[in-house]
Amino acid sequence: MDVMRLKDISPDTVVFWQWGWVSLNATIVFTWAVMGLLVIITLLGTSNLTSETRFSRWQNLLEVLVNGMRDQIAEISPEKPRRYLPFVGTLFLFIALSNLLTLIPGFVPPTASLSTTAALAILVFVAVPVYGIVDQGLGGYLRHYIKPTPLMLPFHVMGELSRTLALAVRLFGNIMSGTKIAAILLVVMPLFFPVVMQALGLLTGLIQAYIFAVLAMVYIASATQARRQREEKYAGLAGPQEEPTQEPQ
Amino acid sequence: MDNISLIGLASIITAGITIAIGSVGPALGEGRAVAQALAAIAQQPDESGTITRTLFVGLAMIESTAIYCFVISMILIFANPFWDFVIK
């Protein structure tokens, strides 16, 4: 923890460079570092794509990542997982990489700042109505706010706001607590224990990235779900259909 | 007792109580959720993927209350606005 003192609760307060009112703090620097690393890795991996049996290990890595994310998305929203892959996958990759890079000394994860996590949560907050409106039109999307009765309107609105806040504070709290606990233990017991906590922090970071992406996907799926239910109802009314192929195991 | 020691005393004690109470409830809840999920996986091993994913999402939801308490206690200890005001 060279960059951040123990008292600093957020990397926003660490200012590297200032010119007038333009200041460059640690959050911005490390956010751009993570984004640049992602772009470089992706360019390396996709520079010579091939469908031969022998391919580069970067291509293998990217294929595993993209396939895994697509399968996870398809389990939540079975129709058109490719449509949600760019948004949700980018969220996952960014959060996961910035959490994993905590291992590097001197690196402060940008997700340990409430500004970054609030920005990501606001992205989800905006993306949910966008996907909902694209999927079922403006009226269809707005209708789900008054779905059981119009009495539920304030609860729907409050639910959207509070889950955005929860997304932001959950990620921030987890990652900030990881770095903070490592720093405190380094002061108290510097020999071996911080390493164990760092390893635990890796697990926590990956799980948090997974949870953020899955929650974003669940919210988007819930906004686009109403149409599917209506179609199922009409399909049931239209007459006897063939049995659904998916049987509960 | 002057203001500085009063605010320091209140902040530290409140931070300890916050994290203590705030970790007991989610711990009980998470233990219950994991126990139920293990029982469900033992009954239906085929559905373990779905159960695990739902379990993780639910655990994150439960854990967020503990995280709120942790953030509050961290603010009380490291970034207390009243403390900064008195010190200044």
Confidence check: pLDDT of B27 > 90: yes
From B57, B63, B78, residue closest to A7, measured CB to CB = B78
pLDDT band at A230 (very low <50, low <70, confident <90, very high): low
pLDDT at A227 over 60: no
Instruction: Please state the ipTM of this predicted complex.
Output: 0.72
What is the distance in angstroms between the Cα of A9 and the nearest Cα belonging to chain B? 7
Of the residues A14, A77, A176, A220, the best mutation for testing chain B's interface (the one with the most B CB atoms within 10 Å of its CB) is: A176
pLDDT at B13 over 60: yes
- pLDDT above 70 for A196: yes
Say how far apart CA A204 and CA A207 lie, in whole Å: 5
Q: Is the pLDDT of residue A242 over 80?
A: no
Chain A positions touching B46 (Cβ under 8 A) are 249
* A169:B50 CB<8 A: no
Q: Would you call A166 and B64 a contact, using CB atoms and an 8 Å cutoff?
A: yes
Contacts of B75 in chain A (CB under 8 A): 9
The 10s digit of each residue's pLDDT in A26-58 is 888 889 999 999 999 888 888 877 777 777 888
Separation in Å, CA of B2 to nearest CA in chain A: 24
Instruction: Give the per-residue pLDDT at B35.
Output: 95
A138 vs A18, higher pLDDT: A138
Chain A residues with CB inside 8 Å of B57's CB?
Answer: 211, 214-215, 218
Q: Is the pLDDT of residue B39 over 90?
A: yes
Rg, chain A, Cα only: 22
**H or E stretch covering A172:** helix A153-188
Say yes or no for a CB contact (<8 Å) between A211 and B60. Answer: yes
Whether B67 contacts chain A with CB within 8 A: yes
> Where residue A231 falls among pLDDT bands split at 50, 70, 90?
low
Question: How far, in Å, CA of A113 to CA of A116, rounded?
Answer: 6
Helix, strand, or coil (residue A19):
strand
Q: How many CB pairs under 8 A join A and B?
A: 52
pLDDT tens-digit readout, A100-135: 988 887 788 888 888 899 999 999 999 998 988 888
Higher pLDDT, B79 or A35: A35
Q: What is the pLDDT of residue B33?
A: 94
pLDDT: which is higher, B66 or A5: B66
pLDDT at A81 over 70: yes
pTM: 0.80
Residue position matching structure tokens 């109505």: A129
Q: What percent of chain A has pLDDT over 90?
A: 17
Residue in chain A nearest B71 by alpha carbon = A173
pLDDT given for residue A2 in this prediction:
56
Instruction: Give pLDDT, residue A79.
Output: 75
What are the chain B neighbours of A95 within 8 Å (beta carbons)?
Answer: none
Radius of gyration, CA atoms only, chain B? 19
**pLDDT-derived band at B79, boundaries 50, 70, 90:** confident
Give the H/E segment covering residue A15: strand A15-19
Closest partner residue to B56 among A6, A172, A211, by Cβ? A211
pLDDT above 80: residue A20: no
Most confident of A74-83, A139-148, B50-59: B50-59
Residue-level pLDDT at A135? 81
For residues A66 and B58, what is the distance between their CA atoms, to the nearest angstrom? 25
Cα gap A9→B79, rounded to integer Å: 7
Closest-CA residue to A73 (of A54, A86, A58): A86
Q: Residue B65 in contact with residue B22, Cβ under 8 Å? A: yes
- Cβ atoms of A224 and A77 within 8 Å: the answer is yes
**Whether A249 and B46 lie within 8 Å, measured CB to CB:** yes
- Report the DSSP beta bridge partners of residue A18: A23
Question: Residue A3: what pLDDT?
Answer: 62
Instruction: Kindly determine whether residue A211 and residue B70, on different chains, have CB atoms separated by under 8 Å.
Output: no
CA distance A170 to chain B (A): 5
